[in-house]
Amino acid sequence: MEKRTLGTSLEVSAIGFGCMGLSFGYNRTSPIERADAIVLLRQTAEAGVTFFDTAEVYGPWTNEELLGEALAPFRGKVVIATKFGFDIDPGATPPMKGLDSRPETIRKVAEASCKRLGVDCLDLFYQHRVDPAVPIEDVAGTVGDLVREGKVRHFGLSEAGVDTIRRAHAVHPVAALQSEYSLWTRDVEKEVLPTCKELGIGFVPFSPLGKGFLTGTIEAGKQFGEGDIRTAIPRFQGDAYDHNLALVRLLQDVAAEKQATPGQIALAWVMAQGPSIVPIPGTTKAHRMRENTAAAAITLSADDLKRIAQAVDNIGVMGERYPAAALQMVQK
C-alpha cells in the first residue's frame, strides 16, 4: 500500500485502522469475540495496513491489551497510536468521568500503555481531548520530555482548535492532529487543515465513513445494540436521517461510475484532500476491512472532487455530529 508521512518523519500506510469499535463505543449486545478480533487485526496488518489507532479509554484498557497481543508478531513493522487525557471510571458507562492531562497523569498513562501494548516506546501519543485546566504548554512539554527519554516517539493532539495547535507545536512538534472528518463533517476545512498544512502536521480523520452512515448499509429505523453511541447522535435520528440519505445517494452514483462502493468513494474523497491525510476507518468484519484498504487505489479526478463538493454543499447536513455533552469537549 502507498505510504504517507505524518509530521516530518512518521511514515504510515495511506489508510490506517481505527480499533475503538473492537472494544468500545458500538454494539455491546453482540460484540466481536476477542479471538476473532485478533484474527482481524492480523489480517489487516497482512493486507498492508501499518497504522493502528487505540486509546486507554477504549474498554477501558482492553483495546490496548488486544492490540498488544494481536500485533506482537508485527512488532517493528507497524505504528500504534494511543491516547491520554481522560479521568477514567471503569465501572461507569461511558467510563470518562472528565478530563485529566496533568503531567503526572500523562507519565502514568504512558507507562501503563507501554505495558498493555507490549512495547518499550509509544509510536504516537495523542492528547485525547484538550483539558482546559492544564496549559497546553505543560502537556506538550511533558510529552516532549517523554520523547527525549525514549518513551514516546511522536506527539499528537485530538479535536484541538487552531490556537491550541499553535501553542503546543511551539513547545514540541506536533506530528499529527486527529479529528472527525468526512463528507458530512467538514468543520476542519476552514482553519484546522490549513494550519496543519502550514505547520507540517499530519491529519488523521476518524469516522471518515460517518460512523458507517456513508457506506449506505445502515437502514432507516435500525435499532443499534446496547451501548452503541449512534443511538444518541442527532444525525442518525428521524428527519435528519432521511435528509442525510441524499449524501449516500450521491456516493452511490459516483461509486457506480468508478466500479467501487460508496464507502470507498467516501474514503478516496478524504484522502484526496491532502497528501498528509491518513483516515482510520474501523470495522469488525474482514470483508469490510479489505474494502476499505482497497480505497487507497481509487483516484478521483479534479472534476469528480468538484462535483462531489458542490453536491454536498447543496444537500447540507442535518443534525449535530455529537450529543451536546460530547460537543462541549471539542475545541472550536
Which of 9-18, 153-162, 234-243, 251-260 is the least confident region?
A: 234-243
* Residue 266 within any structural domain of the chain: no
Instruction: Judge whether 7 lies within some domain.
Output: yes
pLDDT at 49 > cutoff 90: yes
Assign 230 to helix, strand or coil.
Answer: helix
Does residue 58 carry a catalytic annotation?
yes
In the predicted model, what is the mean pLDDT of the chain? 95
CA atoms within 13 A on the CB side of 307: 10
**Cell numbers found for residue 264:** 470507498
Pairing of β 96-99 and β 122-127: unpaired
List the one residue out of 253, 259, 261, 264 whose CA is nearest residue 308. Answer: 253
Residue 220 lies in a domain: no
Residue in 58, 181, 241, 322 annotated catalytic: 58
Range scoring the smallest mean pLDDT among 212-226, 270-284, 311-325: 212-226
SS3 156: strand
Under the banding of pLDDT at 50, 70 and 90, the label for residue 186 is: very high
What single letter denotes the amino acid at residue 202?
G
pLDDT value of residue 327? 83
Domain count, the chain: 1
pLDDT value of position 29:
66
The string of pLDDT tens digits covering residues 85-107 is: 999 999 888 899 999 999 999 99
pLDDT in tens, 67-78: 999 999 999 999
Instruction: Give the rounded distance of the alpha carbon of 263 from its chain centre.
Output: 16
Selection from 100, 45, 104 nearest residue 71 by Cα: 45
308 falls within a domain: no
User: Would 132 be classed as within a structural domain?
Assistant: yes
Give the tens place of pLDDT for each residue, 301-329.
999 999 998 999 999 999 998 888 788 88
Helices (H), 72-127: 103-117
Residue 153's domain comprises 3-212+226-231+274-298
3-state secondary structure (DSSP) of residue 3 = strand
Q: What is the per-residue pLDDT for 226?
A: 78
Residue 59 gets which letter from DSSP? T
Q: Is the pLDDT of residue 282 over 90?
A: yes
- 3-state DSSP of 252-281: HHHHHHHCCCHHHHHHHHHHCCCCCECCCC
Instruction: Give domain status of residue 173, yes or no.
Output: yes
130 domain residue, yes or no = yes
Give the CATH number for residue 155: 3.20.20.100
Asked whether residue 177 is assigned to any structural domain, the reply reads yes
